[in-house]
Structure 1
């Protein structure tokens, strides 16, 4: 777990940023019990897996019973983040009649469990949108306080759209300087097309020079979750509606 800053250095400024993100997510939609959250990105390499994993760690440290599911059935990476062997996981649980808890593995962090991707299936989108997937989530919600789902980039494949359509919330992770405004706007549009509850956007890889070290800073933009913003690429990603 040496790549998980929230685990190896819980008092660092970066870990504090993840705790702030965790708190912001908790207060993003007070009218709903946000228990299942999809983490996706516009394109590959924007940090969705790192963000989901560290939010999982800080949430577990806060006393919540947390499960991270690797639902990227095309290019899974949660097992690499936590240094686990991806021998069984979500794809196995979806075709098994056994309890999904049988496919969950613990981590070094108390209160934090993982459901890895398992073997790569030939039809990820169909599997993730199946009735079995919804039934599996219903069973897992009885066992955990918070379930974080690492999904593929929404701008590349439909998997994140499918998952976001029936999860409690979605976080869009963007890497500063990695993509462009059109890609970001397109990702937001895709999520809204399936009525996803977009809790916010996480901007990462903002450089901070402090003591000669390069650090990461995470900034979460909310407001879109409340329906007070609308997409306007000409003047920025979001613009206030007139009242």
Structure 2
């Protein structure tokens, strides 16, 4: 799956088709570098899954370097994901309803030292039981706004815990060698790389002429 950021309804549709072929209850959105539009893509995929496919979606902000989803969705930023992983609050306290019916948010929560250790695979596996597909789950799909490759922790160590990974690439900024290296690292970590979203693409001839 390779898509432009603009028709994200098509991205959501692709994900729905994938859900018919394989277990896909959780996906994490990442990028090689900060500022490539990863948070916007995660939010739009979640919104499209709700509005276009009528799924019930939980959006989780697990981007310690720049948690923005609470501001974008006008929700209280604390407590949240980080507080839950640290064992300070229960799961039901950190989930917020948003203005989009069917879309809930788990904000990042309280900043603090030692955040990298929160994302160790063992801790994530024990604290995020909804990552396993179960009947009667509260959400059809979990979308996580993850960190970039250049961040506080190495996502490749825990990416295999999620059913799928979506890689956001900013056109004309990110070198293909960097993308290839990150893809290889994700695959070496047994991540299920679903595809890439080409973001901020520039059209030098009329868009309709592109195949």
TM-score interval (norm. to shorter) = 0.7 to 0.9
> 1:124–1:177: structure 2 CA closer, same or farther, 3 Å change rule?
same
Aligned equivalents of 1:155, 1:95: Cα separation in 2: 23
Q: Does structure 2 conserve the Cα–Cα contact (< 8 Å) formed by 1:104 and 1:113?
A: yes
Match of 1:204 among 189, 199, 204: 199
Query: Aligned residue for 1:41?
Result: 31
Tell me the secondary structure at the aligned position of residue 68 of structure 1.
Answer: strand
1:35/1:181 Cα in 2 relative to 1: closer, same or farther (>3 Å)?
Answer: same
Contact 1:100 1:140 in 2 (8 A): no
Provide the residue aligned with 1:149 in structure 2. Answer: 144
Give the corresponding residue for 2:119.
128
Unpaired runs of at least 5, structure 1: 1-12, 210-214, 220-243
User: Matched residue of 1:80: which SS?
Assistant: helix
The one of 163, 167, 170 equivalent to 1:172 is: 167
| Closer, same or farther: CA 21–179 of 1 in aligned 2, 3 Å | same
Describe the shift of the 1:163–1:143 C-alpha distance in structure 2 as closer, same or farther (beyond 3 A): farther
Aligned CA distance change for structure 1 residues 104 and 51 (closer, same or farther; 3 Å): same
Larger mean CA deviation between 181-190 and 72-81 belongs to 72-81
Alpha-carbon distance in 2 for matches of 1:18, 1:144: 20
RMSD over aligned Cα atoms = 2.7
Whether the aligned pair in 1 keeps the contact of 2:119 and 2:153 (CA below 8 Å) is no
How many residue pairs are counted as aligned between the two chains? 199
Separation in structure 1 between the aligned mates of residue 175 and residue 109 of structure 2, nearest angstrom: 33
Q: Does structure 2 retain, via aligned residues, the 8 Å contact 1:56–1:148?
A: yes
Give the superposition deviation at 1:161. Answer: 1.7
Is 1:52 the counterpart of 2:8? The answer is no
Q: Compare relative contact order (CA 8 Å, sep 6+) and give the higher one, 1 or 2.
A: 2
Shift of 1:183: 1.2
Q: Which runs of 5+ in 2 are unaligned?
A: none
Deviations for 1:38-76, whole angstroms, at most 9, x for unmatched residues?
100011111110000011111111211100101112321
Mapped contact 2:78–2:94 kept (Cα < 8 A): no
Aligned to 1:207, what secondary structure does the other structure show?
coil
Larger Rg over CA atoms: 1
Alpha-carbon distance in structure 2 between the residues aligned to 1:192 and 1:60: 29
Structure 1 equivalent of residue 71 of structure 2? 80
**Could you say what secondary structure the match of 2:66 adopts?**
coil
State which drifts further: 129-138 or 98-107.
129-138
Quote how far apart the aligned CAs of 1:29 are. 6.6
